[in-house]
Amino acid sequence: MALERAGWKVVFANDISPAKYEMYRANFGSNEFSLGDIRHLKPQDIPDVSLATASFPCIDVSLAGNRKGLKGKHSSAYWEFHRLMEGMGKRRPRNVLLENVVGLLSSDNGGDLRQIVLSLNTLGYRCDLLLLDAADFVPQSRPRLFVVGRQGSWGSGRPPCDEARPPQVTRFIKQNSDLQWGISELPSLPRRRTRLEDLVERMDAADPSWWDKMRKMHLFRQISPRHKDLLRTLVAGDTFSYATVYKRVRPQGCRAEIRADGVAGCLRTPVGGSSKQFLIEAGRGEWRIRNMTAREYARLQGVPDSFTINVPYTKALHGFGDAVCVPVIEWVLNNGIPGTWSRAALAV
C-alpha cells in the first residue's frame, strides 16, 4: 500500500504465512505473490526491479527476544534476502530498503547491523540509516530502524543532525566510518494530528466484547498502585477517554500497565500474554475493558477502512502486528529513495 501511494508498482511479493497471503490476495490480487519460505526462492524467480524491500524476522535481534542475532533461526532470514540480491548479478535492483526493530542497533554490540551494511556494501550499495517512530504519523508508538541502500555515488559519509537520525544512529555511523555510507538530507518529520480516541471503534456498554466483571477485576488486581491512580483519574472524567493496557512480566510478577497519553503501545503479534494489547474506556464514574479489534489494529498501522480483513481475528492481529506502518514507509520512500527511474518493486 505504501509503495503504491509513493508511485511504485509491486511486481513480486513473498511471505510464508497463508493468512497474510489471503489478506494480500483480497486487497491486491495474487498474481505477483509467491507463498512460501524465502529459502526456496531462486534469484531467477525475481523479476527485474528498481527497488527491493524486506522486513525480516526480529525475534533474534529484539531486546525482548533471545538476542541470537543474525545467526538465530529466525533473523538469519536476512541472509536469504542477501543471497537473492547477490544472485541477481547485473540485474540487481538499484535500491534496497530493510526494516527491523531498534534492537538491531545493539544486537551483538552493533555487530549484526555492521554485518548487514557491510554485506550490502559488497553488492555495490552505499547505505543510510533512519530511525522513525510511527507515533509521528499515527497514534501508535512503534520505533523502527530502516537501512536504505543505493547503488552508485550519492549522499555524504557524515550524518547530519536531523529528526530521522537520533544520537544512537549517528553514533553508530561514526563508529563505523570505514563502511560505505550515503547519507541524504531529509526534511522535518510530520506532526501527528490524530489520537487513539479518533481510531477507536465505538461500542455500546452492553456489547459482549467488553470483559465480564470477573475478568476485569482479575486484571485490576494486576495493576500497580500508580497505574490504579491513573485509572481512577480517567474514571472521574466528565467524558469517556481511552487508554491501552499491556500485561508485562516484572520482578513482582505479571503487571498490567496502562498508557493514557492518546497513543497506543506498539502492536505485536498475539503470542503470549505480554503481547496482547487491550483497550480501556473510562469516564463518568465507570470503566470497561476489551481486546482491541482487528480494525483498530489496521487503523493504527495507517490502513484505511476500505482494506478487506478476511481472516480469523487472531490471524489478522498477527498480520498487522508483523506489518509496517503505511505512512512511515511512504515517507521513507518519498524522502529517502528519491529518483525518476522505473518504479518497479518487490517486497519480501
Give the domain extent around 279: 202-292
Residues 183 and 210 in one domain: no
What are 181-218's pLDDT values in tens digits? 999 889 999 999 999 999 999 999 999 999 999 999 99
Residues 35 and 160 in one domain: yes
Q: Is the pLDDT of residue 63 over 60?
A: no
Residues 223 and 339 in one domain: no
- The count of domains in the chain is 2
Would you place residue 4 in the very low, low, confident or very high pLDDT band (cuts 50, 70, 90)?
very high
User: Is pLDDT larger for residue 30 or for residue 122?
Assistant: 122
Q: Torsion angle of alpha carbons 27, 317, 70, 344, nearest 10°?
A: 10
In this structure, of 10-24, 248-262, 321-335, the range with the lowest mean pLDDT score is 248-262
Would you place residue 269 in the very low, low, confident or very high pLDDT band (cuts 50, 70, 90)?
confident
Q: For residue 44, is it within any domain?
A: yes
Q: Torsion angle of alpha carbons 106, 112, 117, 118, nearest 10°?
A: 130
- Asked if 129 and 182 touch (Cβ cutoff 8 Å), the reply is no
Q: For residue 302, is it within any domain?
A: no
pLDDT at 347: 66
All cell numbers assigned to 234 = 480517567
Q: For residue 300, is it within any domain?
A: no
Q: For residue 299, is it within any domain?
A: no
Residues 12 and 137 in one domain: yes
- Asked if 165 and 131 touch (Cβ cutoff 8 Å), the reply is yes
Nearest to residue 233, comparing CAs of 212, 258, 213? Answer: 258
pLDDT at 266: 93
pLDDT at 57: 72
Q: For residue 116, is it within any domain?
A: yes
Residues 15 and 142 in one domain: yes
Its pTM stands at 0.92
Residues 122 and 176 in one domain: yes
Residues 107 and 156 in one domain: yes
Q: For residue 158, is it within any domain?
A: yes
- Asked if 11 and 3 touch (Cβ cutoff 8 Å), the reply is no
Residue 222, classified by CB atoms within 10 Å of its CB into exposed (0-12), middle (13-18) or buried (19+), is middle
Mean pLDDT of 296-315: 97
Q: Is the pLDDT of residue 59 over 70?
A: no
pLDDT at 107: 84
Q: What is the 3-state secondary structure (H, E, C) of the chain?
A: CHHHHCCCEEEEEEECCHHHHHHHHHHHCCCCEEECCHHHCCHHHCCCCCEEEEECCCCCCCCCCCCCHHHCCCHHHHHHHHHHHHHCHHHCCCEEEEEEEHHHHCHHHHHHHHHHHHHHHCCCEEEEEEEEEHHHCCCECCEEEEEEEEECCCCECCCCCCCCCCHHHHHHHHHCCCCCECECCCCCCCCCCCCHHHHCCCCCCCCCCCCCHHHHHHHHHCECHHHHHHHHHHHCCCCCEEEEEEEEEECCEEEEEEECCCCECCCCCCCCHHHCEEEEEEECCEEEEEECCHHHHHHHCCCCCCCCCCCCHHHHHHHHHHCCCHHHHHHHHHHHCCCCCCCEEEEC
Percentage with pLDDT > 70 across the chain: 88
Q: For residue 298, is it within any domain?
A: no
What are 118-153's pLDDT values in tens digits? 999 999 999 999 999 999 999 999 999 999 999 987
Q: For residue 91, is it within any domain?
A: yes
Q: Is the pLDDT of residue 334 over 70?
A: yes
Residue 65 maps to which CATH number? 3.40.50.150
Residues 160 and 276 in one domain: no
Q: Is the pLDDT of residue 66 over 50?
A: yes
Q: What angle do CA 73, 78, 81 make, to 5 degrees?
A: 130
Q: Please give the mean pLDDT across all residues of the chain.
A: 90
pLDDT at 67: 56
Q: Is the pLDDT of residue 340 over 50?
A: no
Residues 333 and 268 in one domain: no
Residues 232 and 340 in one domain: no
Residues 240 and 328 in one domain: no
Q: Is the pLDDT of residue 82 over 90?
A: yes
Residues 243 and 157 in one domain: no
